Structure 1
Amino acid sequence: MPWNRFEGSLSTPKVDVMVMVDTGSPFLNRTVDGFFKIGAVAAMRTAAEETYYVVKRGNISQHKFEQSLKKMCKEGAYWGTVAGVYLGMEYGMERIRGTRDWKNAMLGGALTGAVISAASNESKDKIVMDAITGGAIATAAEFLNYHT
């Protein structure tokens, strides 16, 4: 019986977007860089989502277009803020602990989850749960980064 074989390789493209903001502080540079990079990702995700709905509906009004732009800005600012806080916290953990490992991601994620939750006026239980979730997600992402 004949069989076919497929061979190839898939590599992740290296994308490095330089944000040309130098605050003079490595801590602030990472925070601002994360804000802009992840904020742009969120805005583009929202743009793709809104484009899908425009194509599905078959038309767009000025009002819907303005709503889409506002949604892009809001999502970009929210995601960017979370990323900036996380990167700042992770860098702070690295500086405080004097080492670079997965524990910085865990602590940075937990602190970010707690800070973002507290800023949203959540209950104490919700803040704790968000801290646990933030730490778990950041740790998982860190482990995936080094999985090759």
Structure 2
Amino acid sequence: MPRTRFYGSLSSPKVDLFVDLGNPFLNLTVDGFLKIGTVAVAKAAAEETYYIVKRGSVSHHKFEQSLKKMCKEGAYWGTVAGVYVGMEYGVERIRGVRDWKNAMIGGALTGALISAAGNRNKDKIVMDAIAGGAIATAAEFINHFT
């Protein structure tokens, strides 16, 4: 029986923006904010486009709501990413070691900080810290093994 093979590769375009603020901590924090904020804006734009196509029309009011949602999502997720990158860098500088534990501690601190900013429930803050640490650690391990 004949076999068919398909070989190929897929690569995405790489766009890199670097803002030099004169401090590595600030550079990394702003870089994380911009990159993840942009991803969040793109996600919100795709969702809003779907809803516009589904409705079949767009009004001025709905368009403004869509823009506000895109900005809000970008600012929120950009802030979370910026805080995380800054925390991880700070932990690395304090510990003097570059390993997965920095991601875990940075993620836990970020989860707790973001949760505490909008929440007074101590159990929820602890759970968000655990989730942040777990997600950051898992992402670090996945990055390391791929």
Q: TM-score, normalised by structure 1?
A: 0.92
**Alignment match, 2:3:** 4
104, 118, 137: which one pairs with 1:106?
104
Deviations 1:39-67 (A, max 9, x none): 11100110011001111111100000000
1:133 aligns with 2:131: yes
- For the residue of structure 2 that corresponds to 1:64, the secondary structure is helix
31, 34, 46: which one pairs with 1:33?
31
| Separation of aligned partners in 1, 2:13 and 2:54 | 33
**Alignment match, 1:15:** 14
**CA shift for structure 1 position 102:** 0.7
| Separation of aligned partners in 1, 2:101 and 2:11 | 25
Consecutive unaligned residues in structure 2, runs of 5 or more:
none
Q: TM-score, normalised by structure 2?
A: 0.93
**CA shift for structure 1 position 100:** 0.9
**CA shift for structure 1 position 121:** 2.1
**CA shift for structure 1 position 16:** 4.2
Amino acid at match of 1:15: K
**Counterparts of residues 12-91 of structure 1 (less than 5 Å):** 12-13=11-12, 15-19=14-18, 21-91=19-89
Amino acid at match of 1:121: N
**CA shift for structure 1 position 109:** 0.3
**CA shift for structure 1 position 4:** 2.9
Provide the alpha-carbon RMSD of the alignment.
1.4
Amino acid at match of 2:5: F
Deviations 1:66-121 (A, max 9, x none): 00000000000000000000000000011011111111100000000000000012
Consecutive unaligned residues in structure 1, runs of 5 or more:
none
Deviations 1:21-51 (A, max 9, x none): 3221100110011111111110011001100
Residues 59 and 14 of structure 1: CA distance in aligned 2, closer, same or farther (over 3 Å): closer
1:94 aligns with 2:88: no
Give me the identity figure in percent. Answer: 71
Amino acid at match of 2:51: Y
**CA shift for structure 1 position 9:** 4.4
